[in-house]
């Protein structure tokens, strides 16, 4: 047991830099205040997203209160938390459990394979807790304040929120363990890992949507029951993720009902945890060690030489590194898969397509009669979805200790930065382009409208990409022990996403007020395109200036 606790302590210390934090508090006040300032900046930027989310939840709460079912706000918070954790937890688990560079070192320690797995699983679980609390606490506070709940309600909500990630992560771990043990038998492990991880995500997404969309044949009767019984509403909404029903009943039911459902939640969570631990004790180490084995290459390799510009050389090298490193590929290329799939929802329906947030976006699209308004709204939505791209906000961090090579190659800093910008931008552009093409069929749009939408989105993504790359250029994370830390545990990804959301919000406000003016379609789109073009050119010039001033100051 002492070995297990020591291993967990070691993992937490390496992951969160606890030793350095203690050192900074005692000896490096400059680094301490820098960290505090960064934390305050992140909180400030987070308030915008959490504020919009809270307003939306409050509107749902007021509507649910009118039908005497205010508790559904809690269910609606738990369901997306559980599903998103399971969906994107696959990448986190593959990165932490199988592709981390410390796997070989941990395997050599005198500890059981199950203990190594447990320490890494707890690391993933702790990493998902902030996301779980961010989605749950606004709903908990709105419901608690509205119905004047006591201290026991808030204590129970903390316990339930902490348990939410356990079952989704357990399911994701089981699927990942099976996948990685299949991959272990393959000669092209990196390629199979990337393809398998993406296929697994798509399968989970489709399965969730399909099973949640199964409706009774007599829809009129079920609608009447739901309208008359608030508990039936909770169970109907939570059928896609049963723990959401238990959490809701723990927080809203009578004492016996709350105790019973808390018991359900604890037993299922414990059973999922034990099952995963036992399974991993037998097959985890085999799959993890296999990822470190190198395949012997035979035969001669033919060297080829060619000429290309410095920008294109950097661009190609960025793509090459991403595709050759499963951790980078799984985290960076997800946006190319997920954004088009979200735009496909209106064609295939299902429970996800009926979510209030998604329905709100679809109603905005389908309710527009003005072509120019439709183009602006779609361009904004696609740009907003495509900004979830960690490849560009970690482009310098991924260089790690090899950053000195970039400082010594015969290419100016601004040229290198431009090549990296194009590489990250191309990922968002591909995601946006595929989603735009799907819009032709999903919303029956005319091709000319889609072309205008692509032009506006392409321009909007430039300042968004620049905002992301500037963050990583100013404060790159060059010290890391495994590639996962560079992209998954890099605060620059989160900061870049918040800044990108802020940029898109500013463009959205400008577009909203332009739509209020009685302009012709061509004038409206032309003015917006001009604004985006000027913003894009200005942001690129800003990037050039920052790169000249900052690049040589970066130390490895």
What are the pLDDT digits (tens) for 489-538?
788 888 888 888 888 888 988 988 888 888 888 888 899 999 999 999 99
CA distance 152 to 149: 8
pLDDT for position 457: 92
Residue % of the chain over a pLDDT of 70: 77
Domain stops at, among 230, 260, 290: 290
* Rounded distance between C-alpha atoms, residue 358 and residue 345, angstroms: 9
Whose tokens are 């709100």? That residue is 360
Place of tokens 């506070």: 141
Counting Cα atoms < 13 Å in the Cβ hemisphere of 483 gives: 21
Q: Do the Cβ atoms of 61 and 73 come closer than 8 Å?
A: yes
For the record, the structure tokens of 493 come out as: 């990804």
Q: Give the Cα separation of 308 and 357 in Å (integer).
A: 46
Note the pLDDT of residue 156.
92
Task: Please work out, in degrees rounded to the nearest 5, the angle formed at the alpha carbon of residue 130 by the alpha carbons of 124 and 131.
Answer: 90
Q: What integer pLDDT is reported at residue 308 of this predicted model?
A: 65
Same-domain status, 75 and 169:
yes
DSSP 8-state class, residue 98: I
- Residue 232: per-residue pLDDT: 65
- The confidence score (pLDDT) of residue 369 equals 61
Give, in order, the Cα–Cα distances in Å from 299 to each of 247, 296, 302, 305: 60, 10, 10, 20
pLDDT at residue 422, as a whole number: 93
SS (H, E, C) 52-63: HHHHHHHHHHHH
Residues 353 and 254 in one domain: no
Alpha-carbon Rg for the chain, nearest whole angstrom, is 25
Instruction: Indicate whether 354 pLDDT > 70.
Output: no
The answer to whether residues 141 and 260 belong to one domain is yes
Residue of 75 and 554 predicted with greater confidence: 75
Q: Best-predicted range by mean pLDDT among 148-157, 177-186, 188-197?
A: 148-157
pLDDT of residue 227: 46
pLDDT of residue 87: 77
Same domain, 99 and 205: yes
pLDDT greater than 90 at residue 444? no
Return contacts of 288-293, CB within 8 angstroms, 24+ apart: 288/97, 288/98, 288/103, 288/107, 288/180, 289/103, 289/104, 289/107, 290/180, 290/183, 290/184, 290/189, 291/98, 291/99, 291/103, 291/180, 291/183, 291/184, 291/189, 291/193, 292/103, 292/104, 293/189
Q: Number of helices (H) and strands (E), helices first, in the chain?
A: 25, 0
User: How many separate domains does the chain show?
Assistant: 2
Considering the domain boundaries, does residue 4 fall inside one?
no
Same domain? 383 vs 275: no
> Given 259, 290, 321, which residue is the final one in a domain?
290
185, 243: one domain: yes
* For residue 108, pLDDT beyond 60: yes
Q: Which helix (H) or strand (E) holds 502?
A: helix 491-516
Q: What secondary structure does DSSP assign to 224-290, as a single string?
A: HHHHH-HHHHHHHHGGGSTHHHHHHHHHHS-HHHHHHHHHHHHHHHHHHHHHHHHHHHHHHHHHHHH
Domain assignment present for 37: yes
CA distances from 389 to 316, 355, 416, 430 (A): 18, 24, 19, 11
**How does 139-168 read in b/e, with b if 16+ C-beta sit within 10 Å?**
bbebbbeeeebeeebeebbeebbbbbbbbb
Instruction: Report the share of the chain in percent with pLDDT over 90.
Output: 16
Cα separation, 107 vs 288, in Å, equals 9
CA 332 – CA 427 distance, rounded (Å): 8
Buried-exposed string 439-458: b where 16+ CB fall within 10 A, e elsewhere: beebbebeeebbebbbbbbb
Q: Is 443 helix (H, G, I), strand (E, B) or coil?
A: coil
Average pLDDT over residues 23-37: 73
Is residue 20 included in any domain, yes or no? Answer: no
- 103 versus 332: the higher-pLDDT residue is 332
196 with 335, same domain: the answer is: no
pLDDT tens by residue, 467-483? 889 988 888 888 777 77
Residue 212 has pLDDT above 60, yes or no: no
Highest-scoring range by mean pLDDT, 115-119, 133-137, 365-369, 547-551: 133-137
Tokens standing for 205?
């997404």
The pLDDT tens digits of the residues spanning 219-245 come to: 444 444 444 455 666 776 677 788 888
| Mean pLDDT to the nearest integer, 334-359 | 63
Residues 190 and 335 in one domain: no
Q: Cα–Cα–Cα angle for 483, 485, 489, nearest 5°?
A: 140
What is the predicted pLDDT for the residue at 12?
75
Q: Is residue 203 domain-shared with residue 268, that is, in the same domain?
A: yes
309-337 pLDDT per residue, tens: 888 889 998 998 888 887 788 778 878 88
pTM of the model: 0.69
- 193, 95 Cβ separation under 8 angstroms: no
Place 373 in a pLDDT band, splitting at 50, 70 and 90: confident
Is the pLDDT at 218 greater than 50, yes or no?
no
Domain of residue 356, residue span:
310-553
274 in any annotated domain: yes
Indicate whether 499 belongs to any domain. Answer: yes
Question: Rounded distance, CA 422 to CA 466, Å?
Answer: 10
Q: Would you place residue 131 in the very low, low, confident or very high pLDDT band (cuts 50, 70, 90)?
A: confident
pLDDT at position 290 over 80: no
What does the pLDDT average to over 184-210?
A: 64
Residue 408 neighbours by CB under 8 Å, 6+ apart: none
458 or 47, greater pLDDT: 458
Do 127 and 237 share a domain, yes or no? yes
Q: Scanning the structure block, which residue is given the tokens 């489709």? A: 206
The residue assigned the tokens 């272990």 is 184
The mean pLDDT of the chain is: 79
| Cβ–Cβ under 8 Å, residues 542 and 468 | no
Task: Report the C-alpha gap between 489 and 256 in whole angstroms.
Answer: 42
DSSP codes, 17-60: THHHHHHHHHH-HHHHHHHHHHHHHHHHHHHHHHHHHHHHHHHH
Listed residues 239, 260, 290: the one ending a domain: 290
378 and 462, same domain (yes or no): yes
Shared domain for 277 and 315, answered yes or no, is: no
Q: Does residue 174 lie in a domain region? A: yes
User: Is position 5 within any domain?
Assistant: no
pLDDT of residue 161: 93
Is residue 235 situated within a structural domain? yes
């Amino acid at each position: 047991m002492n070995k297990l606790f020591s291993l967990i302590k070691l993992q937490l210390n390496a992951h969160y830099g606890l030793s350095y934090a203690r050192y900074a508090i005692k000896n490096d006040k400059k680094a301490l205040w820098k960290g505090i300032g960064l934390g305050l900046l992140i909180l400030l930027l987070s308030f915008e997203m959490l504020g919009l989310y809270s307003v939306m939840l409050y509107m749902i709460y007021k509507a649910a209160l009118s039908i005497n079912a205010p508790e559904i706000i809690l269910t609606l918070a738990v369901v997306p938390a559980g599903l998103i954790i399971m969906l994107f937890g696959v990448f986190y688990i593959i990165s932490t459990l199988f592709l981390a560079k410390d796997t070989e070192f941990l395997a050599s320690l005198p500890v059981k394979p199950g203990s190594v797995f447990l320490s890494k699983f707890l690391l993933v679980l702790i990493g998902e807790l902030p996301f779980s609390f961010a989605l749950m606490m606004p709903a908990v506070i709105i419901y608690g304040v509205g119905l004047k709940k006591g201290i026991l309600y808030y204590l129970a909500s903390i316990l339930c929120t902490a348990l939410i990630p356990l079952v989704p992560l357990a399911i994701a771990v089981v699927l990942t363990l099976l996948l990685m043990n299949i991959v272990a038998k393959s000669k092209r492990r990196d390629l199979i890992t990337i393809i398998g991880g993406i296929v697994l995500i798509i399968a989970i997404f489709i399965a969730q949507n399909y099973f949640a969309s199964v409706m009774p044949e007599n829809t009129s009767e079920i609608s009447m029951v739901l309208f008359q019984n608030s508990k039936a509403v909770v169970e109907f909404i939570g059928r896609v993720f049963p723990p959401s029903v238990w959490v809701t009943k723990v927080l809203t039911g009578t004492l016996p009902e709350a105790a019973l459902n808390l018991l359900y939640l604890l037993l299922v969570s414990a059973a999922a945890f034990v099952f995963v631990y036992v399974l991993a004790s037998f097959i985890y180490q085999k799959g993890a060690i296999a990822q470190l084995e190198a395949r012997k290459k035979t035969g001669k390799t033919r060297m080829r030489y060619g000429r290309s510009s410095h920008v294109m050389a950097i661009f190609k090298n960025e793509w090459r590194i991403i595709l050759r490193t499963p951790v980078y590929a799984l985290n960076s290329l997800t946006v190319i898969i997920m954004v088009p799939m979200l735009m496909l929802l209106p064609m295939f329906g299902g429970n996800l397509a009926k979510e209030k947030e998604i329905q709100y976006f679809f109603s905005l699209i389908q309710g527009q009669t003005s072509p120019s308004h439709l183009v602006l709204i779609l361009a904004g939505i696609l740009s907003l979805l495509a900004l979830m791209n960690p490849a560009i906000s970690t482009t310098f961090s991924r260089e790690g200790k090899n950053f000195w090579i970039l400082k010594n190659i015969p290419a100016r800093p601004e040229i290198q930065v431009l090549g990296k910008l194009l590489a990250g931008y191309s990922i968002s552009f591909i995601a946006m382009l595929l989603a735009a093409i799907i819009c032709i069929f999903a919303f029956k749009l005319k091709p000319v409208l889609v072309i205008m939408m692509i032009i506006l989105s392409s321009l909007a993504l430039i300042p968004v990409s620049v905002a992301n790359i500037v963050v990583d250029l100013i404060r790159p994370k060059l010290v890391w022990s495994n590639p996962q830390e560079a992209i998954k545990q890099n605060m620059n990804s989160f900061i870049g996403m918040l800044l990108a959301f802020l940029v898109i919000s500013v463009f959205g406000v400008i577009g909203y007020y332009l739509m209020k003016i009685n302009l012709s379609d061509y004038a409206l789109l032309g003015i917006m395109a001009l604004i985006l073009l000027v913003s894009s050119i200005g942001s690129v010039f800003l990037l050039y200036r920052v790169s000249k001033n900052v690049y040589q100051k970066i130390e490895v």
